[in-house]
Amino acid sequence: MSSPHYDAVIVGSGPNGMAAGITLAREGLRVLIVEARDTPGGGMRSAELTRPGFVHDICSAVHPMAGMSPFMRGLPLAKFGLEWVHPEILLAHPLAGGRAAGLWRSVDETAESLPQGDGARWRRLMEPLVPRAEGLFADLLGPLPLWPGEPLALARFGLGAVRSAVGLAKGKFCSEEARALFVGNGAHSFLPLERSFTAAVGLALGLAGHAGGWPVARGGSGAIASAMARYFEALGGELRCGVTVSDVRELPEAAAVLCDTGPRAVARLAQAWLPLGYRRRLERYRYGPGVFKMDYALSEPVPWLNPWCRRAGTVHVGGTMAELAAAERATWEGQETDRPFVLVGQQSECDPLRAPAGQHTLWAYAHVPSGSRKNYAEVIANQIERFAPGFRDVVLASHAMDPGAVEAYNANNVGGDVIGGVMDWRQLFTRPVARWNPYTTPHPKLFHCSSATPPGAGVHGMCGYHAARTVLRRVFGMRPEAAAKQG
């Protein structure tokens, strides 16, 4: 690849590669992003996977972290075509007998929906943190903060966060509804729900919902990638798609190279630059369970028994806390199950651009063992049918992706892992390897910027933002404080 000199070249155009590029370009640097696929976006892509006119999100679908990200909030993406749409009910969690729990933007509405006095308990858990949520997420969405901006809020959050999701739910709530609601959020960790720190994910997602919502991008998640790409190019950045890189030495000359790729991919790409011991540490990076994904074109909305589920942007399907815990434990241990946790997105409920008039799309994935070859299409349909009898009758067409297909589409999703690697206490702040600055490598011009660095998965751009700040300081001698103001 021949080209003039760049200040920085970024491999990969997912949310973090884009975030790094934007952060550097805002400082006046000449930045190139190269992307293997024909369009930018990483997990932020949409396509007509089933029938013409039905727009499905290929990976990321609902974006609670986007609204809480200091980086994303500072971008003028509305000027570049991005519009966030909020569902009436953020999340519903159905239970047997037509019961359900719900998460509203309002703490009060959520509290009023919960039985057995759990509304007051939910309010005591969430309400004190909501006014401090913006500063709290600035602390949470980055490396371990030495000097947190919200120390009291972080301490209050941390008291619950260190617990397991099951332990906190049992200790705080009495009803099946409230316990399932909290533990369902904790299941986004892809960890056994009896493990310490899984409560952190439940708390973070609940708080993000109350403080910023769980929005979707009008027209599909690809609109996020398009808006970020347009803004990056407006800043003078250069984006090249359809460029496959097998060795960093193939890249144009640059003062810094940032990789929005998984640790094992970095070990391969930069074999000539990195010592053997460091490469072996990257290759030992741990990935977790995968997903089996289904997309549906529907003739009408899903016939959920509970009306809250019909109005929700997201539905957690899996039953009670005990059922969820059993499913996540089995999946973690590599066991196939016929009742997995299924995450369902109903984007067309609030975004009519997703399907022809009167019809709908449905996005769903089940947590499955890493690299599983089992066909979960019927399993997912059965799980939905448990709480929405007649679901199959409204399906016009479907599209399936097993873990192998998920990885083939995006090489960062090793074994179908869509969150960039295990996020337990051993790997949360040491990702991709234990280092004082996790975005650096032993080579002075090579940096990590993927979701395999803190703070991990989500469309928030903070991994790329923090990596770019490291580059600005270490390579170009710019003060990080000045960079932070730009974000």
For residue 367, give the nearest of 328, 395, 414 by alpha carbon: 328
Dist. CA 356–CA 170, nearest whole Å: 44
What is the tens place of the pLDDT at every residue in 169-191?
A: 999 999 999 999 999 999 999 99
Average pLDDT in the chain? 95
What is the tens place of the pLDDT at every residue in 404-431?
A: 999 999 999 999 999 999 999 888 778 9
479 pLDDT tier (thresholds 50, 70, 90): confident
- What confidence score (pLDDT) does residue 462 get? 96
Residues 1-12, mean pLDDT to the nearest whole number: 81
144 pLDDT tier (thresholds 50, 70, 90): low
Point out the least confidently predicted range of 104-118, 290-304, 416-430, 432-446.
416-430
Say what percent of the chain tops pLDDT 90: 92
Residues 293-302, mean pLDDT to the nearest whole number: 98
The beta-carbon contacts of 150-159 under 8 Å, at least 24 apart in sequence, are 153/128, 153/129, 156/128, 156/129, 157/129, 157/200, 157/203, 157/207
CATH architecture of 84-216+288-409: Alpha-Beta Complex (3.90)
Dist. CA 352–CA 55, nearest whole Å: 10
Say what percent of the chain tops pLDDT 70: 97
* Residue 435 confidence (pLDDT) above 80: yes
Residues 471-478, mean pLDDT to the nearest whole number: 95
481 pLDDT tier (thresholds 50, 70, 90): low
- What confidence score (pLDDT) does residue 5 get? 85
* Residue 1 confidence (pLDDT) above 80: no
Dist. CA 45–CA 425, nearest whole Å: 30
For residue 17, give the nearest of 243, 351, 178, 212 by alpha carbon: 243
472 pLDDT tier (thresholds 50, 70, 90): very high
* Residue 7 confidence (pLDDT) above 90: yes
Residues 357-367, mean pLDDT to the nearest whole number: 97
- What confidence score (pLDDT) does residue 146 get? 59
Domain boundaries along the sequence of the chain: 6-46+221-285+420-486, 84-216+288-409
What is the tens place of the pLDDT at every residue in 337-356?
A: 999 999 999 999 999 999 99
Q: Is the dihedral of CA 423, 429, 434, 438 positive or negative?
A: positive
* Residue 2 confidence (pLDDT) above 70: no
Exposed (0-12), middle (13-18) or buried (19+): which is 385, by Cβ within 10 Å?
middle
- What confidence score (pLDDT) does residue 430 get? 86
Return the residue matching tokens 């973070």. 204
For residue 201, give the nearest of 464, 423, 376 by alpha carbon: 423
- What confidence score (pLDDT) does residue 120 get? 97
- What confidence score (pLDDT) does residue 412 get? 93
Q: Are 183 and 165 in contact (CB under 8 A)?
A: yes
* Strand-pair partners of 368: 290
What is the tens place of the pLDDT at every residue in 245-261?
A: 999 999 999 999 999 99
CATH architecture of 6-46+221-285+420-486: 3-Layer(bba) Sandwich (3.50)
* Residue 214 confidence (pLDDT) above 50: yes
Residues 462-478, mean pLDDT to the nearest whole number: 96
Dist. CA 13–CA 240, nearest whole Å: 10
487 pLDDT tier (thresholds 50, 70, 90): very low
- What confidence score (pLDDT) does residue 483 get? 44
* Residue 480 confidence (pLDDT) above 70: no
- What confidence score (pLDDT) does residue 329 get? 98
- What confidence score (pLDDT) does residue 31 get? 98
- What confidence score (pLDDT) does residue 460 get? 96
